[in-house]
Structure 1
Amino acid sequence: MTNPTRKQRSLSPGMRLRENLVVASIYIILILTAIFVIYPVVWIVLGSMNPGDTLFSSAFIPDHLTLDHYKRLIADTDYVLWYKNTLFIATMNMIISTFLIVTSAYAFSRFRFPGRRKGLMAMLVLQMFPGFMGMIAIYILLLQLNLLDNHWGLILVYAGGSIPFGAWLVKGYFDGLPRSLEEAAKIDGASNTTIFFKVMMPLSIPILTFIAVNNFIGPWMDFIFARLVLRSNENKTLAIGLFEMVTGRGNTEFTLFAAGAVLVAVPITILFLFLQKYIIEGLKAGANKG
């Protein structure tokens, strides 16, 4: 039998009961939160395997589960094309925006140049305005550049729009890294480019992973701006294609939509499963060192 700790011996029965009630309340809140979060996910997955075109079922688990909707989605619609388009846009945005964010954050963190403070303040102010305020101006700009109905028009806008928030976050991380590492590398003859790629980048994997995943998820889930820019059927993204699948008086294939929604979540789920350690570390690091 284990001896009670000093803290347990010092607590009165009333305080111990109060502490147990607080712990029990926390667990109850966490369990209820998990139920509210998980239930819609389970419901849409089961609904995607429900026979017919309706998501309603008399039982929580339908009697006859089927994968026919997934087969129809791939065989009878342009879902695979939408998937390829969205994957291309999200991947290219992740690469380009991460590079732009990291290089600009490193410049603001380690170098002193005219306009540095004003540039930081401008990025801070830009974060206060919602993105849709500039949609008309962006539309006209893309029209003049002949980038309407073009995936690269979306990618360039997504990449540019991600710089203010991402640069501030990564700059805070770089500010927390010791300058002695760079000074030692300079003594050994390393250039600024070598220091950036061989010293700073390996030390910044958590924050880089967090930024990369965020910049992948943004275009993957975006509907409003993609709807504004893309017009032709061959350039549609998943959000546009799935939206049009259930809009209009004659479109009632909600189970087909549910199957498409489930497949949309697959890449993001895989990313979080494999990179959750780095994502959490990067978020904490950026918050603590900002």
Structure 2
Amino acid sequence: MKRKTKSLKRRRFIHNTIVHIFLGILGFIWVLPIFFVILTSFRAEGGTYKSYILPRGYTLNNYKKLFDSASNLNYERWFFNTLIVAICSCLLSAFFVLCVAYVTSRLRFRMRKKMMNIALILGMFPGFMSMYAVYYILKGFGFLEAGPLKLVALVMVYSGSSGLGYLVVKGFFDTIPKTIDEAAFIDGATKWEVFRKITIPLSRPVIVTTLLTSFMGPWVDYIFAKVILGQDRQYYTIAIGLWTMLEKEFVEYYYTQFFAGCVLISIPIALIFLFSQKFYVEGVSGAVKG
């Protein structure tokens, strides 16, 4: 009996060791590109490709040049444009998603299941398939005439179809007992009051999850932003601005500044995720439970 117990412990130890080594290798491979980006952002040597990974010298000038007016970069303007678009899109998208999820979870009406199936099918198609149609629609309505209107158009594009991603939130709403809603209806509450005063306060984890995912999309998007903003450099988002730094005529000069800019735009996302990680896990687990 003791021999069997020892052999089982030995097998378990060997199995756990192999698994941890494998996960450690995968983790190293995953972290290596991030490590390279951070190191390159502090590299003192200019130019693009180097035959070595560790820089020969380190400097903060790459970060300073991003905000230097003599460098002909509008990094702070690009950052501000992206922040405004991401916040507005985040709030609108979250509102649309929550409304659609509440309607499909709590209300029963004709064609409900068919509409849910249609939304599910449409959500499987990538959004950039419709970018030219969206472009000409916005152009026809005059949203592409001026820079500020282009940013408004970008917010409309990001938030317009966000309601199709309601399934995760609906799954969380399904876990909330309907008896709570019925008790509120007996007390004279309307559906809007139940949604605003009962469902929303009970759904904080999934709301944080929705806000986080709605914020990340506009923050890193390049395709739609490039199509809508065109060549209006003053109203570029951060993704387009960073990409222009890698163009053939600028790449030798702005290569290390590009990596510095990448590090800076990753900081807000990392901080938001760290502070909201608890709610994010609870929101996703609640949706799976439903």
Same fold (TM over 0.5): yes
Q: 1:9 deviation in Å?
A: 6.0
Q: Relative to structure 1, is the Cα distance of residues 218 and 255 closer, same or farther in structure 2, using a 3 angstrom cutoff?
A: same
Say which is worse superposed, 205-214 or 153-162, in terms of deviation. Answer: 153-162
Contact 1:47–1:255 (Cα < 8 Å) also in 2: yes
- 1:3 corresponds to which residue? none
Q: Does 1:72 align with 2:65?
A: yes
**Unaligned runs of at least 5 residues, structure 1:** 1-7
Match of 2:239, as an amino acid? A
Deviation string 1:186-226 (CA, Å, 9 cap, x unpaired) is 22222222211111011111111111100100010100111
Contact 2:45–2:55 (Cα < 8 Å) also in 1: no
Match of 2:170, as an amino acid? K
Query: TM-score under structure 2 normalisation?
Result: 0.91
Q: Relative to structure 1, is the Cα distance of residues 15 and 55 closer, same or farther in structure 2, using a 3 angstrom cutoff?
A: farther
Contact 2:206–2:283 (Cα < 8 Å) also in 1: yes
Contact 2:44–2:56 (Cα < 8 Å) also in 1: no
Q: 1:56 deviation in Å?
A: 5.3
Q: 1:58 deviation in Å?
A: 6.7
* Aligned residue runs from structure 1 range 86-125, under 5 A: 86-125=82-121
- 1:169 corresponds to which residue? 168
Q: 1:250 deviation in Å?
A: 4.5
Q: 1:182 deviation in Å?
A: 1.1
Match of 2:212, as an amino acid? V
- Counterpart of 1:38 in 2: which secondary structure? helix
Contact 1:47–1:55 (Cα < 8 Å) also in 2: no
Distance in 1 between residues matched to 2:47 and 2:40, nearest whole Å = 8
Contact 1:83–1:237 (Cα < 8 Å) also in 2: yes
Q: 1:140 deviation in Å?
A: 1.3
- 1:54 corresponds to which residue? 47
Q: 1:113 deviation in Å?
A: 1.9
Q: 1:59 deviation in Å?
A: 6.1
* Aligned residue runs from structure 1 range 153-168, under 5 A: 153-165=153-165, 167-168=166-167
- 1:127 corresponds to which residue? 123
Say which is worse superposed, 29-38 or 261-270, in terms of deviation. Answer: 29-38
Contact 1:206–1:279 (Cα < 8 Å) also in 2: yes
Distance in 2 between residues matched to 1:206 and 1:11, nearest whole Å = 46
* Aligned residue runs from structure 1 range 1-290, under 5 A: 11-54=4-47, 60-75=53-68, 76=71, 77-148=73-144, 150-165=150-165, 167-231=166-230, 232-252=232-252, 253-289=254-290
Contact 1:53–1:256 (Cα < 8 Å) also in 2: no
- Counterpart of 1:12 in 2: which secondary structure? helix
Deviation string 1:148-175 (CA, Å, 9 cap, x unpaired) is 251111111111222212x111111111
Q: 1:27 deviation in Å?
A: 1.1
> Matched residues, percent identical?
34
Deviation string 1:38-71 (CA, Å, 9 cap, x unpaired) is 2221221111111132365676543431100111
- 1:5 corresponds to which residue? none
Contact 2:66–2:257 (Cα < 8 Å) also in 1: yes
Contact 2:45–2:56 (Cα < 8 Å) also in 1: no
Distance in 1 between residues matched to 2:22 and 2:162, nearest whole Å = 35
Distance in 2 between residues matched to 1:189 and 1:114, nearest whole Å = 25
Distance in 2 between residues matched to 1:41 and 1:97, nearest whole Å = 30
Contact 2:90–2:215 (Cα < 8 Å) also in 1: yes
Query: TM-score under structure 1 normalisation?
Result: 0.91
Distance in 2 between residues matched to 1:110 and 1:250, nearest whole Å = 55
Deviation string 1:98-149 (CA, Å, 9 cap, x unpaired) is 0011011101111112232221111011022121211121111111121225
Q: Relative to structure 1, is the Cα distance of residues 195 and 247 closer, same or farther in structure 2, using a 3 angstrom cutoff?
A: same
- Counterpart of 2:10 in 1: which secondary structure? helix
